């Protein structure tokens, strides 16, 4: 992760976009967690009306359901509007930083001497300004957005759940420590495998670039078969490393869904007992079930964000190695050269 500290100067440059995006994301979650309250109040009111006689209160029930549906849609639209504003700030910020970083890399290309290009392959250099920068942009955009969203949503839900029913909240959150341990364990594997994927892709890009640029030489000596054999070997290595990374990523979603499902079962079971004993109302059980399911995507995004961060760290480390290279020839004066008119060129 230390390699990503280099990007802090860009985050400071676009700090207002980042802060506005975080504010919009907070407002999005504030409105998002109001929907379970609407469901809770509606279910409790329906239960109350049903006890007094359903046939006599059909009109009342119809108005109640229509009002609840309207409020639910209105709150969802407001939350969606703030999510749109979030993407218009944080995602655009990531695109602006991507533009600046590519310009910085290209400027470094211009400053380095010819001897550097003799030591390094063109495919590897192209991969750093294209694929590596794209991986870094994913960290600056979705990576930051999903992380901030997780903290805001989890904090708001935890406060709301504790204020509603602390005892039920304790049982609902029991699987979360196990989920945290799993994420920590898999992250270390993702770090190593992401670095291997980036190196394998760089070798593959280099081989393709060299084959295309030297296609005349390959055909002249009739060694197309050897070139194809090398390509298949590198492509096979890249496929192997990518599939290994994909298999590790695939552990996240099923496990998180399983643990969220356990939390849902505990909510219904413990909540049902409390409702039977008259400690809570049925609407609160539905409210907690929605809260638990609202945690599915934020915690599922942890796997995605972890993968994004590990890939970005590996890519930024390669970029940093390149940017730290000092040119052998340093231009002292960047002003254009002026020739004396009396001398002919």
135 close to 311: Cβ distance less than 8 angstroms:
yes
Q: What is the distance between the alpha carbons of residues 79 and 26, in angstroms, rounded to a whole number?
A: 10
The mean pLDDT value for 180-205 works out to 73
**Cα angle at 282 between 277 and 288, to 5 degrees?**
110
Kindly state the average pLDDT of the residues 151-158. Answer: 89
Highest mean pLDDT among 32-46, 76-90, 239-253, 319-333: 76-90
pLDDT at position 78: 95
Give the DSSP H or E segment for 35: helix 34-51
CATH code of the domain occupying 2-323: 1.20.1560.10
Q: Which of 193, 161, 155 is nearest to 29 (CA)?
A: 155
Band the pLDDT of 85: cuts 50, 70, 90.
very high
Highest-confidence segment of 85-89, 175-179, 259-263, 298-302: 85-89
DSSP string, 205-243: HHHHHHHHHTHHHHHHTT-HHHHHHHHHHHHHHHHHHHH
Residue indicated by tokens 């993407």: 87
- Which band of pLDDT confidence, cut at 50, 70 and 90, is reported for residue 1? low
Q: Write the pLDDT tens digit of every residue in 98-138.
A: 999 889 888 888 887 777 777 766 666 777 787 788 888 98
Find the helix packing angle between 282-294 and 144-164, rounded to 10°.
160
In angstroms, rounded to a whole number, what is the distance separating the alpha carbons of residues 17 and 30? Answer: 20
| Residue 323 structure tokens | 């940017």
**The pTM of the whole model exceeds 0.75:** no
Contacts of 127 (CB under 8 A, 6+ apart): 201, 202, 205, 206
More confident residue, 87 or 235: 87
């Amino acid at each position: 992760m230390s390699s990503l500290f280099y990007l802090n100067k860009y985050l400071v440059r676009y700090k207002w976009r980042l802060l506005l995006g975080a504010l919009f994301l907070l407002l999005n979650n504030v409105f998002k967690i109001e929907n379970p309250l609407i469901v809770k109040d509606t279910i409790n009111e329906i239960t109350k009306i049903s006890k007094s006689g359903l046939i006599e209160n059909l009109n009342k029930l119809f108005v109640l359901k229509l009002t609840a549906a309207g409020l639910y849609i209105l709150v969802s639209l407001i939350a969606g509007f703030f999510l749109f504003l979030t993407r218009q700030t944080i995602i655009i910020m990531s695109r602006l930083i991507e533009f600046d970083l590519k310009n910085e890399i290209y400027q470094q290309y211009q400053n380095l001497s010819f001897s550097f290009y003799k030591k390094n392959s063109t495919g590897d250099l192209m991969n750093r300004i294209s694929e590596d920068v794209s991986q870094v942009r994913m960290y600056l955009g979705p990576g930051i957005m999903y992380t901030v969203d997780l903290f805001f949503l989890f904090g708001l839900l935890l406060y709301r759940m504790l204020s509603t029913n602390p005892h039920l909240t304790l049982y609902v959150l029991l699987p979360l420590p196990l989920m945290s341990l799993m994420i920590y364990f898999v992250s270390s594997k993702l770090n190593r495998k992401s670095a291997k994927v980036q190196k394998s892709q760089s070798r593959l890009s280099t081989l393709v670039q060299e084959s295309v640029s030297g296609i005349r030489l390959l055909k002249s000596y009739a060694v197309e078969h050897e070139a194809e054999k090398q390509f298949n070997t590198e492509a096979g290595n890249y496929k192997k490393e990518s599939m290994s990374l994909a298999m590790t990523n695939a552990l996240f979603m099923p496990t998180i869904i399983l643990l969220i499902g356990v939390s849902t079962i505990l909510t219904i079971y413990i909540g049902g007992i409390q409702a039977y004993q008259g400690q809570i109302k049925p609407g609160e059980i539905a409210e907690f079930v929605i809260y638990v399911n609202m945690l599915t995507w934020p915690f599922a995004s942890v796997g995605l964000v972890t993968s994004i961060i590990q890939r970005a760290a590996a890519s930024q480390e390669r970029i940093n190695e390149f940017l730290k290279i000092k040119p052998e020839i340093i231009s002292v004066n960047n002003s254009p050269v002026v020739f004396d008119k009396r001398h002919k060129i």
